[in-house]
Amino acid sequence: MKKKLKIEHERLRVLRGQIKETGSLLDVLDYVSNRIMDGLCRKTKQDSITNVGLSLLDVTDY
């Protein structure tokens, strides 16, 4: 679980860098919508949606 969180954190860090360079929120919205859909397809959907919500807060706080 920690390894997966580290991978997600790294992806968010990369996305944050892309946003700063391009100013595009479309990448973030695409990423977040994909994560939400992944969460809805899994048994642990509440945890996934919560993590995506927290991740979105991290991305927008730059």
The predicted-structure confidence for 28-54, as pLDDT tens digits, reads as follows 777 777 777 776 666 554 555 556 665
How many other CB atoms are found less than 10 A from the CB of residue 15?
A: 18
pLDDT interval class at 10 (50, 70, 90): confident
User: What domain count does the chain have?
Assistant: 1
What percent of the chain is modeled with pLDDT above 70?
A: 45
**At residue 62, does pLDDT exceed 50?**
no
Contacts 24+ apart (CB under 8 A), 27-33: 28/56, 28/59, 28/60, 32/56
Q: Is the pTM of this model over 0.85?
A: no
Q: Answer for the pair 1, 32: CB distance below 8 angstroms, yes or no.
A: no
Q: Domain residues for 34?
A: 2-60
Q: Which one is predicted more confidently, 25 or 51?
A: 25
Q: Which is nearest to 36 in space by CA: 24, 51, 26? A: 51
Is residue 57 within a helix (H) or strand (E), and if so which, with residue range? helix 45-60
